[in-house]
Amino acid sequence: MGEVSAGVNARTPGRTTGFPDGAPVWQDAAPMSDLPPALARLPGRRLGRFGAALLGVALALGVVLAPGRAAATVPAGLVEIPSAFMGLLRLLPGLDLAFGLAAPCRAVGWPSFGRLENGVLAKSTPGLFVRSRDSWGTPEAVRALRRVAQEVETLYPGRGDLIVTDISRRRGGHLRPHRTHQNGQDVDLLLYRNKPGPSARSFDEIDVERLWALVTALRAPGTAELVLVDRGVQARLYAYARDVAGVPETELETLFEYPRQGKRARGEAKPFVRHARGHRTHLHVRFHSPEAIAASIGEDARRGYERIVHVAARGETLASVAAQYGTPVELLATENGLSLKARLRRGARLFVLRPLDPARVSRDTASENRGG
């Protein structure tokens, strides 16, 4: 039987991985007492006849599905609308960030092994250009992305947009050629260029002034967890921050991995901006998404499970893994998009929903078998 540890990078066959320490504790969302700001502004937007009709049906369904609620809490009732219908609402202008209208977004698992449920479609806004029409993220990530891009645009108007290349697919999961970008938290941003053109192609073309403003905005509390970029880019940012912005070197030591070499002392906090190979022309930003992560953990807990990752050993099957954790094999297969007859290759990672109360799961399974 495998051991449970923090993180998801373990590749030793037979090991299991739990959520890292300090994962947010999920709480039930309090009923909404007012319409979301995005919804309150809808009359001034051009929804068109189809959009207006669809919104009307949504509001009507909210009343039907939550008949005992006051009119001011109608958005909370809409949470119970089937997710397929709410997916349509997310595509309407002005409704993609009206979170009270749809089922909560869930960032399932981790950026390197996970998926995205009920994500938000990222769209171009002033100062921000989203290159792909299939870029989905958590509400917190998309909100923060728009905010930091607008801050830089306000400081340096007309000098070019912040360009987004990749976030996540609509349902998350593997996104070529990345090893991460799986649960809506990770965003790739091209470096600002100091001359006409979409992005800097060399260190000399980097618009360090705007890039420093971007990093400063990303450092705001609750915005980003980390930034990955090549040391060469860090060197230019470090020099600008020290010589032009006047940031003390003691503060820069906690901000940049550059110029230090090698591993830091045990227990020493990692810097905000870290080195990563293959990141000479773009930033890899991981945005804080506590609500989306908490919603995922809370949904698992509501069903009576905790989510871990199992790395398959030689000879293991879905049935043997399910038996090891006391979880239904059908649930294990469904959670990983596999058939019951699927063969597991050595080293394959599996999501396992381990029962919090094995007795409860046994009762629920028996009830389902009886058709209850």
| Beta-strand relationship, 128-130 and 162-166 | parallel
Average pLDDT, rounded, for the chain? 79
Q: What is the mean pLDDT of residues 51-60?
A: 54
The token pair at 160 is: 């070019």
99 vs 349, more confident = 349
- Indicate whether 331 pLDDT > 70: yes
Q: Count the domains in the chain.
A: 3
* 346 shares a domain with 282: no
Residue 21 domain flag: no
- Alpha carbon distance 146, 128 (integer Å): 7
Percent of the chain beyond pLDDT 70? 68
Q: pTM higher than 0.85 for the full model?
A: no
* 233 shares a domain with 207: yes
* 256 shares a domain with 151: yes
* 152 shares a domain with 281: yes
Residue 9 domain flag: no
* 193 shares a domain with 125: yes
Q: Using an 8 Å Cβ cutoff, are 256 and 215 in contact?
A: no
Candidates 200, 236, 217, 335; CA nearest to 285 is: 217
Residue 24 has a pLDDT of: 34
Q: Which of helix, strand or coil describes residue 15? A: coil
Q: What is the mean pLDDT of residues 22-34?
A: 35
Candidates 227, 213, 225, 206; CA nearest to 273 is: 227
The token pair at 81 is: 């609308």
User: 122-142 burial by CB neighbour count: b if 16+ within 10 A, else e?
Assistant: bbebebbebeeeebbbbbbbb
Strand partners for 110: 113
Residue 19 domain flag: no
Residue 218 has a pLDDT of: 98
- Alpha carbon distance 285, 64 (integer Å): 42
* 282 shares a domain with 307: no
- Determine the structural domain holding residue 343 and report its residue range: 303-369
- Indicate whether 310 pLDDT > 60: yes
- Alpha carbon distance 214, 362 (integer Å): 52
Q: What is the mean pLDDT of residues 270-299?
A: 96
- Indicate whether 62 pLDDT > 60: no
Strand partners for 307: 353
* 47 shares a domain with 181: no
Supply the CATH number for residue 361's domain: 3.10.350.10
* 263 shares a domain with 182: yes
- Alpha carbon distance 317, 15 (integer Å): 15
- Alpha carbon distance 247, 263 (integer Å): 24
* 141 shares a domain with 87: no
Residue 264 has a pLDDT of: 73
- Torsion over CA of 54, 59, 64 and 67, rounded to 10 degrees? 180
Identity of the amino acid at 147: R
